[in-house]
Amino acid sequence: MTRDLISLLAFLALCFAVAAAGGAVTATSVHGWYQGLAKPAFNPPDWLFAPVWGVLYALIALAGWRLWRRRELPNARAALQLYAVQLALNLCWSMLFFGARLPGAALAEILTLLAAIGATMRLAARVERAAAWLLAPYAAWVAYAAVLNAAIWRLN
């Protein structure tokens, strides 16, 4: 039980460290450059992003933890490797969009991120279906974010 709790806390720490790093990069542009961009009508209010991402990062951590607990099963190692890739790509998007202020490059990257999430879900489903389903809201939000990213790139 203690080992499970420690590993869950480690996954939460990892995911929220990625969130904090992305947030630090985002903070450099969100109140200046981002505010000046033309945005589509379906752009959500700024206050919505933090709570949505908070829930999503918790679900991402829980999915990773569930995969970790089954790491001895076939496909678990590969699923965890893809999990790490999608988490790194998640951070890279913030660096490209907000840090480098390159919406076009960020669009290409977020499409890669979405593909990595999908691949992670497919492989995770072979290990534990619940882990895959925990990533579904994340995939949906990233798909929405990709459409939003494309619209911002087109408008600017």
Domain ranges of the chain: 2-155
Burial of 77 from C-beta contacts in 10 A (0-12 / 13-18 / 19+): middle
Question: What pLDDT digit, counting tens, does each position of 13-26 carry?
Answer: 999 999 999 999 99
Q: Residue 155: count other Cβ atoms within 10 Å of its Cβ.
A: 12
Amino acid at 19: A
Query: What does the block give as tokens for 12?
Result: 């939460």
Give the confidence band of 31 by pLDDT, cuts at 50, 70, 90. Answer: confident
What SS3 state is found at 40?
coil
Q: What local confidence, expressed as pLDDT, does residue 116 receive?
A: 98
Cβ-contact 46, 118 below 8 angstroms = no
DSSP 100: S
Q: What's the confidence (pLDDT) of residue 30?
A: 87
Question: For the CA atoms of 112, 118, 120, 121, what is the dihedral angle to 10 degrees?
Answer: 160
Cβ proximity of 96 and 39 under 8 Å = no
Give the pLDDT band of residue 122 (cuts 50, 70, 90): very high
* Tens of pLDDT, residues 39-52: 999 999 999 999 99
Q: Alpha helices, DSSP H only, in 28-69?
A: 46-69
Q: Which residue has the tokens 């990062």?
A: 57
Residues 129-151 pLDDT 10s: 999 999 999 999 999 999 999 99
**Is the model's pLDDT at 114 over the cut of 90?**
yes
- Architecture in CATH for domain 2-155: Up-down Bundle (1.20)
DSSP tag of 71? T
- What's the chain's average pLDDT? 96
